Amino acid sequence: MTIYEAVGGMETFRRLVGAFYAGVAEDPILRPMYPADLDPPKRHLTLFLAQFFGGPQTYNAERGHPRLRARHLPFAIDQQARDAWVRRMAAALDTIDLPPAARAEFLRYFEDAASFLINR
């Protein structure tokens, strides 16, 4: 069984990303970096995470190879922005009901990926 299946499939990723962007919407560091309409970023992150954790490969079909570091270069991601992102995602993780092992694995992945994206 994939992690995607174990945590409840697409609906779980939708809820996680919905909670994350609700936090981004009120974040003074992160909000200005995103476009006015948060729906497209929401869709991209949902599909990316679902794909990464073993779900359907819809992200690649729609967006091509993720190339996350390259895609994030236009955004000034310093330690402070990285920490703000991780804080919002950790808070979002708390709003969905995940087995503790899955929560820990998600959080470690997000911390590492966010550190990798620091570019300033």
Contact pattern from residue 28 through residue 67 relative to ligand HEM, giving x for each residue in contact according to CB under 6 A and a dash for the rest: --x--xxx----xx--xx--x--------------x----
* CA separation for the pair 40, 53 (Å, rounded): 20
Cβ distance 90 to 50 under 8 Å? no
Binding of residue 69 to ligand HEM (CB under 6 A): no
Which residue, 19 or 81, is less far from ligand HEM as judged by CB?
81
Local structure of residue 1 (DSSP, 8 states): -
- Can you give the length of the chain in residues? 120
Judged by CB under 6 A, the residue of 14, 15, 72, 87 near ligand HEM is 72
Token duo for residue 65:
């190879």
Cβ distance 45 to 23 under 8 Å? no
Q: Which residues bind ligand HEM (CB under 6 A)?
A: 30, 33-35, 40-41, 44-45, 48, 63, 68, 71-72, 75, 77, 81-82, 85, 110, 113-114, 117
